[in-house]
Chain A
Amino acid sequence: MSHVTSAVRTPLVTGGKTYADVTEDISRQVEGAPTREWTIAFTISVVVLLYGTACVFWTWWEGLGVWGLNKTVGWAWDITNFVWWVGIGHAGTLISAILLLFRQKWRTAVNRAAEAMTIFAVLCAASFILMHMGRPWLAYWALPLPNTFGSLWVNFKSPLVWDVFAISTYFTVSLVFWYMGLLPDLATIRDRARSKVSRYIYGAFSLGWNGSAKTWARYEYMSLILAGLSTPLVLSVHTIVSMDFATSVIPGWHTTIFPPYFVAGAIFSGFAMVQNLVLIIRVVFKLEDYITIEHIESMNKVITLTGSIVGVAYLTEFFIAWYSGVEFESYAFINRATGPYWWAYWAMMTCNVITPQLFWSRAIRRSIVWTFVLSVIVNIGMWFERFVIIVTSLHRDYLPSSWAMFHPTLFDISDYIFSFGFFFTLFLLFSKFLPVVNMAEVKTVIKSSSERLPVSVSGVAKGERVANPTFNKNIE
């Protein structure tokens, strides 16, 4: 046998699946009529989306005064939600790009859903950028338009402009990467389609893919370069988001630790969101053989690692605030932990630093219920992290006469709810009309990582593999 998995390594695909089983199991939900659960979930999402859309339009119609902002706290839930969603949008590209470069085969079962989540999360993040502009019809002013158009060019030395470039590039490249990954699977659905309409639609979107050896060779090469591009890209996005804060002179923001700390936090929350979505998908679509406990445990390990990095960053911030001897900086941190927003700080500490440490226990790491609950807690904690950074740093200005508190209004809350409606509507549409697991990629790991090797046929006896050094090198 040329490519055999070590007995120590647990299989990635269980249930002795063949290539045809993979196609059948994953195409089923695309081809069948929507299930009752899906219809109910979709209806709820659309209702939430409609309510949220109405609130967002009211926010624009009335102006940002409907939010709880004041002269001291000029950023609050808007930017908190923006950073939170962008952070969540980091897991997909990490899974599809960085894990591809590291040859982590477990990514094959979860990369499709995670990338979809990334794209939708970035769209949600972008919606808060549009919202906080107040006048979204002037959003194009953020682009480098000729001087005669407005009064000035954009300021290329500002991290906010870097953000425009980073987020839009990240969104575009993630979308392209995801769509290219979909091509072979769309062709599979096209060739199985019974109705003329779906054959036409999936045919158009599969761009005439026919799986020739030449196409596949170029495709693999392209995927590798896209992964190589996306790896620094995903790290750059949250680095630049963190610079929105770090390059300012607000105590609690002006720290060089921000870029790595934000990136770790982004991966942390992104993986938590992937867990939540994937745990639901595997049950609803009966994909337990493809998204196994191994996959969930692997992601929990990433959560434990990044959660610990975030914890170290929190402590480092505190230490440096004291060690620097800057009284504004020291005050900002003491105020965070003991000031009027102490509850937000301790919610963040508990959810991000303490509870994820439970994942050191193998039993908890492999428990579906624990994983689901802890992942929700992680995302609550990560939302509070951004709230703490933004609001507690702003609400105590340099002048005590300017000190203020931030209280969310109905529209702060409703505009946040909008993003959930938007996200879940898109995600549910994705999960119904596109294969949620990358069939072509799962087929490549069937032989090396399946529970039972498929019975070989004609010419080659069962269990005996044709020696092929090229193939082995790529597998191992």
Chain B
Amino acid sequence: MSDVNGSGKFLVGIYDDDDVVLKAVKDVKNAGVRIHEVYTPFPIHGLDVALGHPRTRLGIAAFLFGLSGTLTALALTFYTEGYDWPMVVGGKDSYSPVVYVPVIFELTVLFCALGMVGTFLVSNGLGPTVKPLMYDLRTTDNKFAMAIDLGKNNIGESTIEQILKKSGAAEVNVKQF
């Protein structure tokens, strides 16, 4: 995964509470420490903003996939019913999108959903053979971990440990990948 760069040596602050870790992110950043990433058992609103992560562009991907679904459905129905083998059924116009609305809608939703989920998995590097980089196994249970890449910080290890402790970390561990 693209998570590992720098020295591969991390200081991991373990927090017990979501509100504490959210405040700690600001404190640690203000103290001049570069945070690698925070790992949590459930989503904390505003955490990505506090960490300075850019806003996700998943919405753009979703729109484009949806649009491709719409166009596919239009092409499919117009080609088959309008051009290749027109059939008069109920006097409905073969070149009218109105009668194909259900098919167009369903394919739009299908392409959009599958495309977006695929994009999500690819952009996060998720897949069945991926071995997760777990900074602490308890972060999928009840703990919140803040990982500091020592190779990307000029501040000394003990100082960072002090800053993490002061920000509310219950424990600070070293993790080497």
Q: Answer whether residue B8 sits at the interface, using C-beta atoms and an 8 A cutoff.
A: no
Which of B22, B90, B135 sits near A468, CB closer than 8 Å? B22
Q: How far does the Cβ of B90 sit from chain A's closest Cβ, in whole Å?
A: 7
Could you say which residues of chain A place their CB within 8 Å of the CB of B126?
183, 207-209, 215
Stretch at the interface among A270-278, A283-291, A304-312, A436-444: A436-444
Q: How far does the Cβ of B68 sit from chain A's closest Cβ, in whole Å?
A: 14
User: Are B43 and A216 neighbours in the complex by a CB distance under 8 Å?
Assistant: yes
Given that A155-B87, A208-B127, A213-B40 are contacting pairs, would A225 and B116 also be in contact in the complex, using a CB cutoff of 8 Å?
yes
> Which of A157, A190, A205 counts the most B-chain CB atoms under 10 A from its CB?
A157
Given that A216-B40, A233-B109, A456-B19 are contacting pairs, would A204 and B81 also be in contact in the complex, using a CB cutoff of 8 Å?
no
The docked-state distance in angstroms from the alpha carbon of A243 to that of B90 is: 14
Could you say which residues of chain B place their CB within 8 Å of the CB of A444?
42-43
Q: How far does the Cβ of A476 sit from chain B's closest Cβ, in whole Å?
A: 11
Which of A184, A212, A457 sits near B170, CB closer than 8 Å? A457
Query: Which residues between 27 and 42 of chain B lie within 8 Å of chain A, taking CB atoms?
Result: 37-42
Which of A154, A158, A447, A458 sits near B16, CB closer than 8 Å? A458
User: Are B106 and A465 neighbours in the complex by a CB distance under 8 Å?
Assistant: no
Q: Nearest chain-A residue to B101 (Cβ)?
A: A162
Q: Answer whether residue A16 sits at the interface, using C-beta atoms and an 8 A cutoff.
A: no
Which of B18, B62, B107, B120 sits near A219, CB closer than 8 Å? B120
Q: Nearest chain-A residue to B23 (Cβ)?
A: A466
Could you say which residues of chain B place their CB within 8 Å of the CB of A173?
109-110, 113
Query: Which residues between 177 and 212 of chain A lie within 8 Å of chain B, taking CB atoms?
Result: 177, 180, 183-184, 187-188, 190-192, 203-212
Which of A176, A210, A229, A474 sits near B133, CB closer than 8 Å? A210
User: Are B87 and A457 neighbours in the complex by a CB distance under 8 Å?
Assistant: no
The docked-state distance in angstroms from the alpha carbon of A52 to that of B134 is: 46
Q: Answer whether residue A470 sits at the interface, using C-beta atoms and an 8 A cutoff.
A: yes
The docked-state distance in angstroms from the alpha carbon of A283 to that of B53 is: 43
Q: How many residues of B contact A (CB 8 A)?
A: 79
User: Are B41 and A184 neighbours in the complex by a CB distance under 8 Å?
Assistant: yes
Q: Answer whether residue B71 sits at the interface, using C-beta atoms and an 8 A cutoff.
A: no
* Residue interface mask B104-132, A partner, CB < 8 A = 1: 01110110111011001101111111111
Could you say which residues of chain A place their CB within 8 Å of the CB of B106?
162, 165-166, 169, 233, 236
Q: How many residues of A contact B (CB 8 A)?
A: 79
User: Are B43 and A187 neighbours in the complex by a CB distance under 8 Å?
Assistant: no
Query: Which residues between 17 and 42 of chain A lie within 8 Å of chain B, taking CB atoms?
Result: 18-20, 23
* Residue interface mask B40-51, A partner, CB < 8 A = 1: 111111111101
Could you say which residues of chain A place their CB within 8 Å of the CB of B62?
225
Q: Answer whether residue B20 sits at the interface, using C-beta atoms and an 8 A cutoff.
A: yes
Q: Answer whether residue B7 sits at the interface, using C-beta atoms and an 8 A cutoff.
A: no
Q: Answer whether residue B162 sits at the interface, using C-beta atoms and an 8 A cutoff.
A: no
User: Are B141 and A23 neighbours in the complex by a CB distance under 8 Å?
Assistant: yes
Which of B89, B120, B131 sits near A208, CB closer than 8 Å? B131
> Which of B113, B129, B133, B170 counts the most A-chain CB atoms under 10 A from its CB?
B113
User: Are A459 and B48 neighbours in the complex by a CB distance under 8 Å?
Assistant: no
User: Are B141 and A207 neighbours in the complex by a CB distance under 8 Å?
Assistant: no
Given that A153-B81, A207-B126, A214-B37 are contacting pairs, would A458 and B140 also be in contact in the complex, using a CB cutoff of 8 Å?
no
Q: Answer whether residue B85 sits at the interface, using C-beta atoms and an 8 A cutoff.
A: yes
User: Are B114 and A218 neighbours in the complex by a CB distance under 8 Å?
Assistant: no
The docked-state distance in angstroms from the alpha carbon of A475 to that of B154 is: 38
Q: Nearest chain-B residue to A162 (Cβ)?
A: B102
Could you say which residues of chain A place their CB within 8 Å of the CB of B77?
156
Which of A161, A206, A215 sits near B124, CB closer than 8 Å? A215
Q: Answer whether residue B103 sits at the interface, using C-beta atoms and an 8 A cutoff.
A: yes
Given that A147-B85, A155-B87, A460-B168 are contacting pairs, would A214 and B45 also be in contact in the complex, using a CB cutoff of 8 Å?
no
Q: Nearest chain-A residue to B87 (Cβ)?
A: A155
The docked-state distance in angstroms from the alpha carbon of A470 to that of B138 is: 26
Q: Answer whether residue A8 sits at the interface, using C-beta atoms and an 8 A cutoff.
A: no
Could you say which residues of chain B place their CB within 8 Å of the CB of A447?
18-19
User: Are B19 and A458 neighbours in the complex by a CB distance under 8 Å?
Assistant: no
> Which of B16, B134, B141 counts the most A-chain CB atoms under 10 A from its CB?
B141
Q: Answer whether residue A62 sits at the interface, using C-beta atoms and an 8 A cutoff.
A: no
User: Are B132 and A152 neighbours in the complex by a CB distance under 8 Å?
Assistant: no
The docked-state distance in angstroms from the alpha carbon of A185 to that of B177 is: 24
User: Are A176 and B113 neighbours in the complex by a CB distance under 8 Å?
Assistant: yes
Q: How far does the Cβ of A459 sit from chain B's closest Cβ, in whole Å?
A: 3
Given that A20-B141, A443-B41, A471-B22 are contacting pairs, would A236 and B56 also be in contact in the complex, using a CB cutoff of 8 Å?
no
Query: Which residues between 220 and 247 of chain A lie within 8 Å of chain B, taking CB atoms?
Result: 220-222, 225-226, 229, 232-233, 236, 240, 243
User: Are B17 and A456 neighbours in the complex by a CB distance under 8 Å?
Assistant: yes
User: Are A468 and B46 neighbours in the complex by a CB distance under 8 Å?
Assistant: yes
Q: Answer whether residue B142 sits at the interface, using C-beta atoms and an 8 A cutoff.
A: yes
Could you say which residues of chain B place their CB within 8 Å of the CB of A443?
41-42, 142
Query: Which residues between 413 and 448 of chain A lie within 8 Å of chain B, taking CB atoms?
Result: 440-441, 443-444, 447
- Some 13 contacts from A to B, beta carbons below 8 A apart, are A20-B141, A155-B89, A156-B100, A165-B106, A165-B107, A184-B140, A203-B132, A222-B120, A229-B109, A229-B112, A456-B19, A458-B17, A466-B22
Which residues of B does A touch, CB under 8 Å?
A: 1, 3, 15-20, 22-24, 37-49, 51, 53, 56, 58-59, 62, 76-77, 80-81, 84-85, 87, 89-90, 92, 99-100, 102-103, 105-107, 109-110, 112-114, 116-117, 120-121, 123-135, 137-142, 167-170
Add 4 more A-B contacts to A188-B41, A208-B126, A471-B45 (CB < 8 A): A169-B110, A192-B141, A204-B129, A207-B121
